[in-house]
Amino acid sequence: MGRLWRVSGPLVIAEDMKGSQVYEVVEIGEEGLVGEIIGLEEDRAVIQAHEDTQGLMVGERVRGTGTILTAELGPGIVGSIYDGLQKSLTDLMKTDLFIKRGAKAFALPRDRKWRFSPKVNVGDTVNEGDIIGTVPETNLIEHRIMVPIGTKGVVKQVRRGDFTVEEPVVLVEQAGQIKELTMMQKWPVRKPRPYRQRFASSRLLVTGMRIIDYMFPLALGGKAALPGGFGTGKTVALQQLARWAQTQLNIYVGCGERGNEMADVLYSFRQLKDPATGKFLQEKEVFIANTSNMPVVAREASIFVGITLAEYFRDMGYDILLVADSTSRWAEAMREIGGRLEEMPGEEGFPAYLGSRLSSFYERAGVVECLGSPSRRGSITVAGAVSPPGADFSEPVTQNTLRIVDALYSLDVSLANRRHFPAINWLTSYSLYTDAVEEWWSKVGPEWAETRATALKLLQQEAELEEIVRLVGPEALPEGDKLLLLTTRMIREDFLVQNAYNEVDTYSPPARAHLMLKTIIKFYELAQKMLGSGASTAEIRSSPVIYKISRMKYIPEDVSEQRIKELWSEMEASLTTRKGEV
């Protein structure tokens, strides 16, 4: 038991703390505020408080718990809303509309019973990671109960029926001792969970966003960053990822973002349905709400709690998507603590360990072979938003993030001002997963690589023509360049622009995206032949097929392939015959 010696915002120093350990969780003051020890010097402990320290006084008690910050793992996670320390906000709201400092709440409900179906028998030998039973957690998630890491032995007793997460369901004899296995286990949030083997990413993460799936693909198990200035649509883009990504479970971490945005996320996910199953999206989502008015230091904990939950479900053999909005707020918390610790500041005041701390989060993504039997693979895909001040991508958080991730979706203020959403700039974005997913794409659209390359080439040529257009105007350009500008406008407005609030356009399957872009490229090729036969771009622009191409994105999914192929026939008829010819 120690006592407060100094309080400086979220930084607390306590004395008489001999025997404490770094990253040990402590309770501060009479209200028991949660904090973590981040430094020790003789009998003094440097503590970062995860709750508001206003009103604390020198001399108040500080009690060490003897444990480090851990996440509770078990049935009851899916569909839950947690704060940055994995306290159930739903439970806290039952007692008081406004959450009080020091309020305690379990992450997993202790009174709810779950139907446990065992997968092992008495006499079986089990090792860490083995699946010993299942629980139907939601209509979309079968919760697979695993042997905790570090446990192995012979099964002595198996129970079947309804149990709470604290009741033993399997008894295992390990080194002559009987160990009770429950449906709940705990894991330190800053320690990566082990796995058997890591694999290279090779499958596309289908997000339903055309510019991502088709132009700059993100592979399952990949790492992506979405940097952008204020108003560029980072939060909406991440919401779209969390809504429609074809993964078994999605985890949304609101790290220091506005409360109204988080409220909008929570409301919309209760209404929307998964396109693959028709079930409500809430049944495959986990929410961690650490908004901007919550304690600053808890932002770091929220990020690591989220990735720990993702690893736990990955170990069941699931594909997981984690979106973090935004890592810049987390970095700002690190900067504040570093300043109060009087550490030597790095660039723009951020701590020197900014890069390593970011990598300790992003590098927990990947495709792995899980521990235990039956043999299974799981993956974690991480997409993090970055909020550079003034949309300056040269600032430290963005630059350190780009050294880690393999896909960049650069959100552009000028595109957002033109109401082009998602405002992902096709000239500054990139993906290193293009070659990895080419085999996957070849089964959906055999001409994907060529079509994508043609579209990107046309967009690059348009960018090169922009300066000339500003000087002489578009009418002074040769007919071939006029056609190129017409085609690239169609690519931008009819393919890359996507309406997140339209029930048809909000989600675009890869096969449909391929047909849409292939239609535009086919239009360009047919129009080039018309130019070669003496037609003008003005004649081509007057063709009714241009309007029909612009409406492709709103064709209902069940008839889209048929209607688009009918449009191909109409294009071939109208763009091969000049007006006045029979």
Mean pLDDT of 204-218: 97
pLDDT at 257: 82
For residue 101, is pLDDT > 90?
Answer: no
Query: What is the CB-side half-sphere exposure of residue 102 using CA atoms within 13 A?
Result: 12
pTM of the model: 0.94
Mean pLDDT of 150-156: 95
Does 39 score more than 80 pLDDT?
yes
Segment 335-378, tens digit of pLDDT: 999 998 888 888 999 999 999 999 999 999 999 999 999 999 99
pLDDT for the residue 582: 35
For 209, other C-beta atoms within 10 Å of its C-beta total 26
How does pLDDT run across 42-82, given as a tens digit for each residue? 999 999 999 889 999 999 999 999 999 999 999 999 999 99
Domains and CATH numbers, the chain: 2-68 (2.40.30.20), 109-186 (2.40.50.100), 196-205+220-416 (3.40.50.300), 445-574 (1.10.1140.10)
Closest CA to 163 of 75, 80, 73: 75
Residues 104, 101: Cα–Cα separation, whole Å: 9
Task: Provide, rounded to the nearest whole percent, the portion of the chain with pLDDT above 90.
Answer: 79
Please, which residues have CB within 8 angstroms of residue 40's CB and are 6 or more apart in sequence? Answer: 17, 20, 21, 22, 46
Each residue's pLDDT tens digit, 117-146: 999 999 999 999 999 999 999 999 999 999
3-state secondary structure of 329: helix
Sequence length of the chain is: 582
**pLDDT at 540 > cutoff 80:** yes
315's CB contacts (< 8 A; 6+ apart) are 129, 146, 193, 195, 370, 371, 372, 378
Mean pLDDT of the chain: 93
Instruction: Check: CB of residue 74 under 8 Å from CB of residue 167.
Output: no
Buried b (16+ CB within 10 A) or exposed e, 543-580: bebbebbeebbebeeeebeeebeebbeebeeebeeeee
Q: How far apart are CA 430 and CA 154, in angstroms?
A: 51
Task: Provide the 8-state DSSP code for 546.
Answer: H
118-132: b or e for each residue (b if 16 or more CB lie within 10 Å)?
A: bbbeeebebeebbbb
**Whether pLDDT at 392 is above 70:** yes
Tell me the three state secondary structure of residue 573. Answer: helix
CA dist list (Å): 60 to 31, 54, 56, 65:
10, 13, 7, 16
Letter string b/e over residues 76-94, b meaning 16 or more CB atoms within 10 A of that residue's CB: bbbbbbbbbbbbbbebbee
Cα separation, 484 vs 536, in Å, equals: 13
Is residue 451 pLDDT above 60, yes or no?
yes
What confidence category does residue 580 fall into, taking pLDDT thresholds of 50, 70 and 90? very low
